[in-house]
Amino acid sequence: MIRAILLLLSIALPARAEEIVADLSQDRVSISTSFDGSEILIFGAIRRDAPRNFDTKMAILITVAGPREDVAVRRKDRVMGIWVNADSVEMEGVPSFYAVASSRPIAEALSPEEDLRWRITTRRALSAPGGARMARKDPDFLNALVRVNTDAGAYTTSEDAVDLREGTLFSTKIALPAALTEGNYTTRIYLTQDGRVTDSYATALYVQKVGLERWLYVLAHEQPLIYGCLSLFIAVAAGWGASAIFRYTRL
């Protein structure tokens, strides 16, 4: 009886004929005082247990998501000729960085139903369960958040940026801006057939401050009083020094 049930299950569940095998050029990024951005290479291959089906449209989609944080999105209105903050929305769990790259146009590589299920595109990732949460539903604030982070280089979408060779080998480069948040950056790779996700692979990249940047970061978060006094001392010393130099040059 048990053997019959196992046989039926093996027939009902098809074997995974294609599987993603991937890696990153580096699994750690160090942020120092001279850090002005970086670039990671994501590469891999599609391992097959059977010959490739050329009748389907295959694509690779890659996402890199940074640590989540809480942000306030504000809307400005013109009041008596002056632009002021009129309204704001608190958003929780917003990715500090989100990049999407694909081997073909996303509209061809991913169906809307699969995007809703896997939350791959930027807007779907922001509205994922357990992801970004708004104090009240208002698409204008979500659009503003995406627009601001896109202009800052924190959110990117690059279609046809994944090089897929002979339907087996793939690679792409993801640019990381200078203003990176410390923490884990989750990389996910999706294989799609006719717009449907057939396999996925996940790994992580760790970003960490080093040297003086690390010391200041730890001091600001663990000893805020000392950090504030030190900042005040540096500001007073810089002002006094600039004043002394100005008086000396006038003599």
Domain boundaries, the chain: 17-209, 210-251
CB 185 within 8 A of CB 65: yes
- Residue 174 pairs in a beta bridge with 40
| Lowest-confidence segment of 2-6, 103-107, 118-122, 208-212 by average pLDDT | 2-6
Query: Residue 71 pLDDT > 90, yes or no?
Result: no
- Mention every residue, 6+ apart, whose C-beta is less than 8 A from residue 174: 39, 40, 42, 62, 64, 99, 101
Please state the pTM of the whole predicted model: 0.76
Q: Which class would CATH give 17-209?
A: mainly beta
- Residue 62 pairs in a beta bridge with 101, 189
What is the DSSP track for 72-138? EEEEEEEETTEEEEEEEEEEEEEES-EEEEESS-HHHHS-HHHHHHH--SHHHHHTSTTS-EESS--
Residue 234, H or E segment: helix 224-250
Kindly state the average pLDDT of the residues 169-187.
93
Q: What is the pLDDT of residues 14-56, one digit of tens each?
A: 445 799 999 999 988 887 666 778 899 999 999 998 888 888 8
pLDDT grade for 11, boundaries at 50, 70 and 90: very low
Length of the chain, please? 251
Say if strands 68-79 and 82-95 run parallel, antiparallel, or are unpaired.
Answer: antiparallel
Q: Report the percent of the chain where pLDDT is more than 90.
A: 45
Query: Residue 119 pLDDT > 50, yes or no?
Result: yes
Quote the pLDDT of residue 219: 53
Query: Which of residues 226 and 201 earns the better pLDDT score?
Result: 201
Instruction: Quote the radius of gyration of the chain (alpha carbons, Å).
Output: 24
Q: What is the C-alpha to C-alpha distance for residues 61 and 189, in angstroms, rounded to an integer?
A: 6
Quote the pLDDT of residue 87: 78
Q: Report the percent of the chain where pLDDT is more than 70.
A: 73
